[in-house]
Structure 1
Amino acid sequence: MINLTLCLTHDCNLRCGYCYAGRKRPVSMSVETAFRSIDFGLEQARKEGKALGRQPEILIGFFGGEPLLEWDLLRKCRKYAEKEALRSGIRLKWTLTTNMTLLTEERVAWLMEKGFRLGLSLDGNAAMHGVWRKYPDGRNSHGDCAAALEWFKGREHRADLICVVNPLNVRHLADSVRWMGETCGLDIMLNPDFGARWTEEALETLSSAYEEIGREVLRSYQAGRPLTLNVIQSKIAAYVKGGYEACEMCTLGEREIAVAVSGNMYPCARLVGNDDNESLRMGNVWTGEDWKKKMTLSAARGNKNPKCFFCPLRPRCLQWCGCVNYVTSGRTDWVGEFTCFHERLSIRVADDVAETLWEERNPWFIREFYSGTLPAAGGEEEAGAVEEK
């Protein structure tokens, strides 16, 4: 499936200190460039579907800046893509990443009706959120974001909370996870700020917070109300499956297309930034793809760090993520030190949770990871998550 992301604007109504989306300025994508981008993405999906002998699919996402600043353009894009995809027999999926402050009950209803899955940026409780996610005048945006959660009750499977963990807000992380778990039923995506400077003290705080979060997840399963966090459940699922599947891994330079306001194309929305990095640019929707650049980026995907080659955790590690590699090491094919630390920590905490729940034969755990049936053969060593060696 082709993943097309339209960065509708470089502008934003917040000034989050860790933002990787570049300098904020009032420059937005034209309707013509947006439609041209959609045409380009649909054509890529059509070609892929034909090559694979199946119905073509495309996931169209909206990003920024803050995409809801361009609400009218977003709606026009949705209408145009729906019309063109219907004509071509292409299946559409939709995503939107938003800081939540411009959501209204009417907008949420429209997005749900139109089949969007939303990524909602919310850095936990007011104390954690307020460290970075502020309005230009310095006000904490947490109150406006928390109020919007009311409109997602009963729609929990249609949105995720995106919580960015940074060295300066990590001290509030465990309390924030508890608050988010008690406030709503949305899945929580903990996204470490990979580009930040993580001191030894900050890493120790992160480790303690993850261990407490693991205990919180364990308690939630035991209480019959599982709390879902990507850093826990994804690692357990990866163990059960024998590692991440190919469809879950990075397709940098191949199936990922992020289009900047200018129409310039990049291999990932995280790499658009100020739209001034020629080494990551794959062409422009008006002039076409730069095939040489695209092939170079595709070839530089994965992980060539030799210390990772024989690591037993490699199948369950995000060492294949090109954009994370780039912000931590400056190379899309080289894992940085913080990534290694974070992945080992996540796997260790996830395994502690999984082993306890397996020993207890927790029904919620069994249903989620083993389709409700105990594995038939192999015993606990094969069924439970393994400890990090």
Structure 2
Amino acid sequence: MAHPLSFEAFSDALGSLYQGPLENVPWASFLNLLNHTLQSKYVTFILRPPSSHVDGLMVNTNGTSAEATASYNKHFYALDPFVDLPNRQVVCNTEFIPLAEWTASEFYKNFLEPVGVLHILGADIRTSDGAQCRIRISRGPEQPSFTQADKDLLALFVPHLERAVQLHIRLNRIESERNLYAGAVDQMAVGTIILDEEGKVLQTNQVAERLLQDKDGLKRVDDGLQVGNARDNQEFRRLVKQALLSQKSSNPSVVEALRVQRPSGRADLGIIVRSVPLSAWNEGKQCPAVAIFISDPEQQSSAPQEIVRALFDFTPAETQLAMLLANGLTLDEASEELGISRNTARAHLRSTFSKTGVTRQTMLVRLILRSVATLG
């Protein structure tokens, strides 16, 4: 039988529940705490029930067999009779299904009995934004069945678990959108660096990280940034300071540009500095304050040839030529790279003009670089 929770213990449990969406394995701490409190064998939280179309997404307490989880996902979910419980209500398996019918079921004989489970306490949660979650607490045949006190204790957590799931969904949506946009910027070969309210590097994308590793006109120094020569760096620091002041005073976003020389003699970097507008309820440290966008003229377009070919209905040969031109080669250099004559290259070029409706090589290059192909 579960022991009543003190106010402090209940508060700690709620804290771990709401911390759940931020954990590497969501709700792992809360589930293990619940497992200990209810003196159960396993606790499983199913964030997404398995189906014939998709594997389930579930979190288990320590000691749960990975093989059992996999077999449930692949096969036994379809045999599970303890599903579709009344929304937000805590139910014991023997209230839902008679014990004799339960122990005679294929699900019990082939799945639960081999892992030493007889008693299950559960609740289903169906949220307003479409999530269908299940929490299942298991005990073995040598343990007592769940009591009303156990049910009441789990019922205390169910509404909080629903709210935490909604927070988890919202955070996941934001993270997915962020990753999508970050990936698009990477594909466009634009470096991005986010600075916090003290001007320290908070985040970089892949393109910016490569530029920082090269230390050619852009490098990290004591968590800050240093660019170009002394004059370039002085101007950069002024622009960052101005952007920070603009953000703190809630002025309209400041956008400034800077050209930075590289010690290697390679083409100058182009840098945009802009303040990041604060949200209405923004508070706390290490928040995005300044965004740095960097363009490297020598960075080649990474547009996939298959996408360029599909967008413009080019032949494979026309696609190869167009991509080389987009990456800065002249027609003669491109024909040499492809191992074809200049006349053949010109014929391919005329064909691309006809298909795209442009009349000059520079217009073709601009069309490709400004198309959605770079996001592929």
Range class of TM-score, shorter chain? under 0.3
TM-score normalized by the length of structure 2: 0.20
The structure with more strand, counted as a fraction of residues: 2
TM-score normalized by the length of structure 1: 0.19
- Relative contact order higher in (CA < 8 Å, ≥ 6 apart): 1
